[in-house]
Structure 1
Amino acid sequence: MAARFTLASGITSRLDAFSDYISTFSKRSLSLLILLTVTISVCFLYSSQSPNLLSTTTDGFRFGHNESHLLSAGTYDCARCEQPPNLAKLEPKQIWEACLDPGVVPEYYMTVVMVARNDDYAGNQFHRLQNAIDSTYALAEKTKTLIELLIIEWNPPAGRRGIRDTYRYRRSKYLTYRIITVPRKIHETLRGKEGPEALEYEGKNVGIRFARGEFIVCTNQDDIWSPNMHNAVVSRSFRKKMFYTQYQDSHVSYDELPGTIVDVPSFTTDDGLLESCSFDAYEPHAFAFPAPQVIDTTNFLVIAHEASDFTLAHRDTWQMTRGYREAGAKTWIDMELVLTAAWTLDIPVTYTRDTLSCHQQHHTVVHPNSDADNRDVDVGRMMSKEEIHMNEEGQWGLQNVKIWENGLHCEVFRGGLGV
């Protein structure tokens, strides 16, 4: 009893001393201490596997959504809106850097990355890309989720209007458009004057590098979203430290189109786009992914097939892979990325047959090196971690190119009339 009383007395005296110590703090110091504690707690929650605090509500990102970055070549996007203070005092490079800045924390739930150039790729490019733009508008507007559509315009053809001046961009308080243009000078720095005119995966890497979304989905300029994707977004189904792929039919000519290949009229309605890619597997707000798939040499061709149409991961997870491989890559680069995630980095891969996007039908295009059959990749050695196919640190996404001096262009806007 005496011992217990002595221990209690010791605790009491220590508490009294601690109270006296705390009382010596000023209110300002206590406020800073509380702020630091809250900041550390938020960072811990954000880094966990569970959805972070920004993701759990529809408007969760709005507190960090910085409208002042809506600058394009020195002019504000909205003609009648109040302009950011001291806009006239900003140097062109400051505006350019603001446009490219990915931010310390995400400003959007999702960034949709696609690569395009105005060259009528595979025929009827105009209506296919317009449908893809409109489908992303509908995704943001119908789910009431902050989304960024980031188009990488790679090596624009001379004598043709650019992507910004050719397509319709409807205005939504939930969707922001950004176009990063990689000029011919930078293209030739990477590939010389020979070879393909557009580098899809280098372009997607630029998008991954500068994206402002918490989750980044790399897709193509002719893919449209299904009701499943709408449901997955409102259900906040995506997780960190995970790659997501989906079933996708091959991009070949068909007499009768399979389910995930669709033929959509130009300028169809938003509901028409959803009906064209009509996969809807779950009740609203209840979308669920299957368990991650164990990838081996018997199933990788299925899980990573046509992954260029849909590969999604958290922004931090994309950084772990260092994007798609650039140096030495030939074909199946999208598949190689999935295998690198699963085998080299031990990142789980979730593969779903609940279609999230459909590919619009177009003429078959034979790409350079398509007959190489990925002969530079030994999947068995990749699986055993004997071969690693990753970019060197700082050697992807134009990190090794002087992008300001070589004319990389960036513009960000909300679309519509802007009044």
Structure 2
Amino acid sequence: MEIYMVGGAVRDALLGLPVQDHDWVVVGATPEALADQGYLPVGKDFPVFLHPETREEYALARTERKTARGYRGFAVHAEPDVTLEQDLARRDLTINAIAAPARGDDAPGRFEPDFAALIDPFGGQKDLQAKVLRHVTGAFREDPVRILRLARFAARFSDFSVAPETLALMRDMVAEGEVDALVPERVWQELARGLMEDKPSRMFEVLRDSGALDKLLPEVARLWGVPQPAAHHPEVDTGIHLMMVLDMSAQLKAPLAARFACLCHDLGKGTTPAEVLPRHIGHEDRSARLLKDVCERLRVPVDCREIADVVAREHGNVHRSESLGAAALVRLLERCDAFRKPQRFADILLACECDARGRLGLHDSPYPQRPRLLAALAAAQAVPTQPLAQAAQAAGRGGKQIGDVIHQARVKAVQDSLPGTAAGQPPPAGM
């Protein structure tokens, strides 16, 4: 039985990056042999075991044979006669097909990789040095998830290029309908991971270049070639602006829900009627409708759906909020459900800031709307609502009337908190 460290752990170690997970492959063993040594079986589709002490994954060397369309259509062969090179040949990219032999350390049953004796039959080290993402063999075409994985790696290693022959292979896979067989959960999983990389725009650029974006997210693909309003640098079209917004979301360390909101906030611009171009009148409601379709199709988690919906509908009002008076500010807070979900509101504002700063020449610009709205929320939250409600009930009021009393008290609190406003001054007319 021979053991090797493989995959991303070897790649990241060679790049000098932190190694998060250690993956091992076992050659010349059977499931029974590993079980006899205390390894715990966990694999459903193929034999994977957990080390009895470290709980790291050890997979039997295997080959795969395509049996049907999609990423689940495989027959797996995991027997002692499968060689290490055969196992590496089924992997996606050359930089992930490097193996380091394991050597035992001082702790019984524990292993350390020997990086002085790397096994690299497909030139992964050379591609690491050249910063190229290249498929290992033609077996790449058998799993359409690999298109998404490669695009995600492009977002992680943003200075890597995609080998021309690999891009051509991806385009062939799209043309052959392989992408159509992907299940929604797997698409969302890879998109979400790509959104959280340091340069998420690269993921969507690669998907667009391969033709996969038209299949997976046609609502996003339609944004390229759509002009921006004159005030938003018309020399940059909406698709390019979107890529700048996504990269700004990474720069500001936005959470996934906010980054997804950035991806979808302008979908309606891809369907703007010709008569209102390039002003994009009404694109907020169109964006919200298209967003609903995307979320249902990809089965997007509820928290991501909710924030994206509010950002799609309200980002224009948030951008204009510096000119709003107290009454309009409170109504905006209410529409965003900021009183019940203040942390979600903070993420909404962060997504709006990414949109505003994701423009030429504005990357380092301040976004005063965000602190102003957070201050307005804090002022409104300081209103003691329970005594107001009790007093209103004692006066014979109920239902909507109590809500109106609380609303007006919040408006006054926000008005009093606005810079340069004298306390007690009547609020200006709202939006």
- What TM-score does the superposition give when structure 2 sets the normalisation length? 0.23
> Max radius of gyration: which structure?
2
User: Counting helix residues as a fraction of each chain, which structure ranks higher?
Assistant: 2
Structure with the bigger RCO (C-alpha within 8 Å, sep 6+) is 1
After TM superposition, the score normalised by the length of structure 1 is 0.24
